[in-house]
Amino acid sequence: MIVFYYIIFPGFLTAFILGGIASWTERKLTAKIHARVGPPFLQPFYDIIKLFIKEVTIPDSASKTIFMLSPIIAFASVPIVATIVGINFLNPEYGFNGDLLVCVYLLLIPSIAIILGSSASGNPLASIGASREMKLVLSYELAFWAALTVPIIRTNTFRLSDLMEYQVLNGATAGSWSGIIAFIVAIICIQAKLARVPFDMPEAETEIAGGAYIEYSGALLGFFKMSQYMMLVVLPVFLLQIFWGPLNSPITILKYLLLLFIIVLIENTNPRLKIDQAVKFFWFGLFPLGIISIILAVLGM
């Protein structure tokens, strides 16, 4: 019963509602930047309802099992992360050793599901999207892991509750030289994980007409969209827990909103990169920065 409760709150239901609100906030801010009015408050939820009442079409050339299971798997992984992150926020004693690593691996599943689903669709444009998504994952994950190594070195633990407790006693990890560099690297990496501009190459509607999602419709596309909504909450809160804690005051909401604003600002002030440019940026730009932050962490800075 307790497990079911936590899956609903702070798991799926909370993450979905907050994700819809975050998506509306993102679209509203984007509209303001572009001098437009923007959508009504409930538009993200209307979009999901509309998708779930539409017919699901499956291409004749698709590998049907993989094509249909991929969005469901992508969707299922995110509420689990929301549950783990939420439990460590509300009741830290229910956390477990290694939950940080579990979250990182679960957050990789949506990208893998996109690669599998688009590859299974049989559409050449979807295959291009899958190829781009694969290259993007191989590039940003290296820098992301380097960034996450810093709080692990500083606290000598893989447990989220211990990472937060350390920050209660010693101040935010992002308050150190190593922490602030790693935090910046991680923020840019989650921009790629969220597939936001300038890292939206797998979707790229103006180039490959939606790419990875081109053959998806109805409820299957709805599962992908819900995953995106929830990731817009789960990823920033996950970073706040390990870099910018403690999260035990109303200021936490302001921290999240600031991080969301940064994501929207990056999205609206940069052009889309080519996939080779993104790979070079992460491998030869951000990853070396991550290594520098690890060296500084080892030196206690």
> Is 164 within 8 Å of 247 (Cβ atoms)?
yes
- Residues 96/101/103/108 CA torsion (nearest 10 deg): -160
Residue 287, number of CB atoms within 10 A of its CB: 20
The residue assigned the tokens 């893989």 is 158
Token pair, residue 200, equals: 């939206």
User: pTM here?
Assistant: 0.91
φ/ψ of 55, rounded to 5, equals -75, 140
The domain spans of the chain are 2-298
> Is 248 within 8 Å of 180 (Cβ atoms)?
no
C-alpha 63/C-alpha 82 separation (Å) is 30
Residue 230, number of CB atoms within 10 A of its CB: 28
Amino acid at 194: L
Residue 236 makes CB contacts below 8 A (sequence gap 6+) with: 190, 256, 259, 260, 263
C-alpha 200/C-alpha 32 separation (Å) is 21
φ/ψ of 172, rounded to 5, equals -60, 140
CA angle 96, 290, 22 (to 5 degrees): 60
pLDDT in tens, the chain (301 residues): 444 555 566 677 888 999 999 999 999 999 988 888 889 999 999 999 999 999 898 888 888 899 999 999 999 999 999 988 888 777 767 667 778 899 999 999 999 999 999 999 988 888 898 999 999 999 999 999 999 999 999 988 888 888 888 888 888 899 899 999 999 999 999 999 998 889 998 887 777 777 788 889 999 999 999 999 999 999 999 999 999 877 767 788 899 999 999 999 999 988 889 999 999 999 999 999 999 999 999 998 8
> Is 190 within 8 Å of 239 (Cβ atoms)?
yes
